[in-house]
A = this chain, B = another copy of it.
């Protein structure tokens, strides 16, 4: 995979500079930190929603800064956590005087750094809560759901938290609704080919020509099993089985689904997957209220995709459909 880049060491800086210069009406740099992106039109008197994480996953994380989504975001190096400093700055910039909810994926470095940053800003008088998103079924058993990684489902939690805060909910209320979203969220993914870190220059992992890896993480962490590539319908059947085994969904349930490409896998394939997912859910009489199909959380140019399910109640549904403004989310 050939990359259209300059110096690998400038990869992150240049790409977020490009983001800000391309959409100045949405994104701005924080004044105090060039690895922090904040909303160009700062919100007032609402709970701030802040995220952060490694680069290489665009639109995750910083692409979701915008009205109705994130207020600020700390940008780490490729696949690496932002530093405590950067996160603390993001929290300060995302704070609108009503406390800040941090929404992040469950990765060791990120969690530790967010915890530390929260301690620091606490001493400055900023109240924070943390939602550690853990939607990846493959990364831990159901009993240990809290240890699961956060992957594409992250975006649902951004949207729910953002909408809830925009509607004037308190920090406690925003926290509770987002927690419910995280509890109602499951993702299972499959990788079919690796990506190449700009600084490393060779694939993170190798898969045989007829191999796929179920449950691979968005950094190329191994998944639960390596299997033979098979027809999309069979694969989707198996993935949905994994979801249903983990997550009881019944007849009258309403859900939103997200079919997410890890990067290279084209939309056509995602829609082939979405067709099958819709058929499977419809057979079970589970209503798909809304499907999101596209590149929402990527791993550079990795090929593969994930299926996310968010079970909705009235509050979550309202928050999902609420207005927002960002180039990567269509209402």
Taking beta carbons and an 8 Å cutoff, which residues of A are in contact with B?
1-7, 11, 14-19, 21-23, 55-56, 58-59, 63, 190, 192-193, 207, 209-210, 212, 229, 231-233, 235, 259, 263-275, 278-279, 291, 293-295, 298, 300-301, 303-305, 327, 330
| Known interface pairs A293-B18, A330-B327; A266-B58 also in contact (CB < 8 Å) | yes
CA distance A207 to B2 in the complex (A): 10
What 13 additional pairs, Cβ within 8 angstroms, besides A5-B232, A21-B275? A1-B264, A2-B212, A2-B303, A4-B273, A4-B304, A4-B305, A11-B268, A16-B271, A22-B275, A55-B268, A59-B267, A264-B264, A293-B327
CA distance A192 to B271 in the complex (A): 25
CA distance A16 to B295 in the complex (A): 18
Most buried by B among A5, A14, A55, A267: A267
| Known interface pairs A22-B278, A267-B58, A271-B14; A4-B295 also in contact (CB < 8 Å) | no
| Known interface pairs A21-B274, A22-B293; A6-B303 also in contact (CB < 8 Å) | no
Contact with A273, one of B18, B270, B271 (Cβ below 8 angstroms): B18
Q: Are A4 and B271 in contact (CB under 8 A)?
A: no
| Known interface pairs A1-B303, A265-B4, A298-B266; A275-B17 also in contact (CB < 8 Å) | yes
Nearest chain-B residue to A17 (Cβ)?
A: B275
| Known interface pairs A6-B272, A18-B272, A21-B278; A264-B231 also in contact (CB < 8 Å) | no
Q: Are B11 and A271 in contact (CB under 8 A)?
A: no
Residues from chain B with Cβ under 8 Å of A235 in the complex: 4
5 closest A-B pairs by beta carbon, nearest first, are: A18-B271, A18-B275, A58-B267, A264-B264, A22-B291
